[in-house]
Amino acid sequence: MNLRLRIPDWILLLAFCAFFFFWRLAAFGLIGADEPRYAQVAREMFERHDWITPTLGGSPWLEKPPLYYWQAMVAYRIFGVSDWAARLPSAFDASLLVFAVYWFLRRFRGFALDGALMLACCAGIVGYARAASTDMPLAAMFTIGMIAWFAWLDSERHPFLLLFYAAMGLAMLAKGPVAPLLAAAILVIFAVATRTRKILWRSVSLSGGLVFCAITLPWYVLVEMRNPQFLRVFILEHNLARFGTNLFHHPEPFWYYIPVTLLGWVPWTVFAVMAFVSVLRRIRGEEPDSFNTFLLIWIVLVVVFFSISKSKLPGYVLPAIPAGILLLANYLRERAPAKPHWFFLSLHGALSSALLFAALLMPAALLEHRVVWDRSDFIPLLVAIAAGVGVGKAGIRKLRVSTVVPAVLALAVALRLGAPALNQTLSARAVSDVLARVTPRPLPVATVLVSRETEYGLQFYRNQKLPANELRQPLAGEHLIVAKQGFRESIVRALSGRKIVDLGNLPAQKLEFFYVFE
């Protein structure tokens, strides 16, 4: 595990963060409903020079606090408004997270470079580092706060406790009160489990509380003063109602976050599970390491808490991913002299190498909505299996290289081959590009039965508020229509007496385009 290639750790980490988080960040357009929506909210705040009230289409949008919006506004100011700039905050926060984990492990635990590199190539971290969303800012600030608290516990240095309060303040600005509530629950359970309840009282710091309030209160007070509906919308609807009801239509089974967490740890899932099971066994059989207990409680509480929620989205469980990698780094550090069973090493190696196989299948899966098998596809599969067996024979000393190299190759292939298909099938950027080709003028756009993802995406890429459904409230004057495929006759009936010109279609998203004029 001492392979350094004679490169300073910080340069190596910068290079890996640059590749995993920043390289080809705009290879595909904003996808889903959240990415373009958050990007557009930040743009409207930026254009109004307003750092207090988030708006969408000119109306207050009070679902989330402003940390992501503020970061995006800074990115827009430096680099201009684009989907690339909208994703920069998450990429930056992921890099900050990787370096924070490296610092903590190097100072308190060891295995620092390995732990940081393992975190940098985790599927969950890479995926959300490349998304314009509030999930990565929350996960980064929450993780920094938790490791700062444990650093204080280990060293008794008060600045670490202040950092904990500061990070929790930023986490509350990232996504609301869930961060300090989760942190408090983890600390309480940890104190009870380790029979050290006095640390709870010692954790209460007047100066820390002042730091927390200084970071969080100004915005919360100002936004409530300007928008008296804020507390009702934000606390009651988008925190309590989102947790306790299916108001926002994201139902999933209770066990949903177990596979999501395991996928988030890919390619380290095999050893992360081994580390998790090992700690559970120690708790039952002997006095466990306090850091392992802390991490175990952290993982379990985050997963269970969001499993109880009636509304579930994959990004909610992201704060558990760094804890799993820290647990794994500690596990490997403790067992570095020993060699795990060849079966687990081979399974881990096969999983790591199979990432490349999955990346090669991505374009066909996206464009044809099925996995297209061909004889040639078995070649990379066999190579993946052979590489996995080779890793098993090489042993744990080669674990970092044997895992990171396939991860690098898989991401490179995915961005080179899969990104165009991803853009064509899931992003409104492809729709906007078609509209720009058929008419260079910035005409208003109306929609007919398109998805929320397309609506929010067009709102960002066209930088205009989209009107209501064209079939119910036809837009006056000259304009464009983006419609779900097969509704031309309905549009003709709704716009009786007006001229409609077909502008083509986008089969990958089952959309048709029309030009309407008097």
d(CA 410, CA 270): 18
Q: What is the separation of C-alpha 511 from the centre of its chain, rounded to a whole number of angstroms?
A: 28
If 0-12 CB within 10 Å is exposed, 13-18 middle and 19+ buried, where does residue 302 land?
Answer: buried
Beta strand 479-484 pairing with 445-448? parallel
Q: Hunting for tokens 């820290």 — which residue is that?
A: 326
CA of 239: how far to CAs of 93, 311, 388, in Å?
23, 10, 44
d(CA 433, CA 153): 54
If 0-12 CB within 10 Å is exposed, 13-18 middle and 19+ buried, where does residue 193 land?
Answer: middle
Cβ neighbours of residue 425 closer than 8 Å, sequence gap 6 or more: 366, 367, 508, 509
Query: Roughly what angle, to the nearest 10 degrees, separates helices 112-120 and 320-334?
Result: 140
Closest residue by Cα to residue 463 from 53, 12, 86, 143? 86
Q: What is the pLDDT of residue 249?
A: 55
d(CA 204, CA 271): 36
Six-digit token pair at 256?
A: 């949903």
Closest residue by Cα to residue 463 from 57, 32, 25? 57
Query: Roughly what angle, to the nearest 10 degrees, separates helices 419-426 and 428-438?
Result: 80
Q: What is the mean pLDDT of each run of 10 residues along the chain (518 residues)?
A: 63 95 96 95 97 94 95 98 97 98 92 92 96 97 98 95 98 94 96 89 95 97 94 77 60 88 93 90 74 95 92 91 95 72 72 76 64 56 57 57 80 89 93 89 88 93 80 83 91 86 92 90
Cβ neighbours of residue 33 closer than 8 Å, sequence gap 6 or more: 452, 453, 456
Q: What is the pLDDT of residue 359?
A: 78
Q: Hunting for tokens 């750092």 — which residue is that?
A: 51
What are the CB-based long-range contacts (under 8 Å, 24+) for 144-149?
144/96, 144/97, 144/100, 145/171, 145/179, 145/183, 146/183, 146/186, 146/298, 146/323, 147/100, 147/101, 147/104, 147/326, 149/183, 149/187, 149/203
Q: What is the pLDDT of residue 24?
A: 95
Cβ contact 446:484 at 8 Å: no
Q: What is the pLDDT of residue 159?
A: 96
Q: What is the pLDDT of residue 241?
A: 64
Q: What is the pLDDT of residue 286?
A: 63
Please tell me the pTM assigned to this model.
0.92
Q: What is the pLDDT of residue 2?
A: 46
Cβ contact 445:514 at 8 Å: no
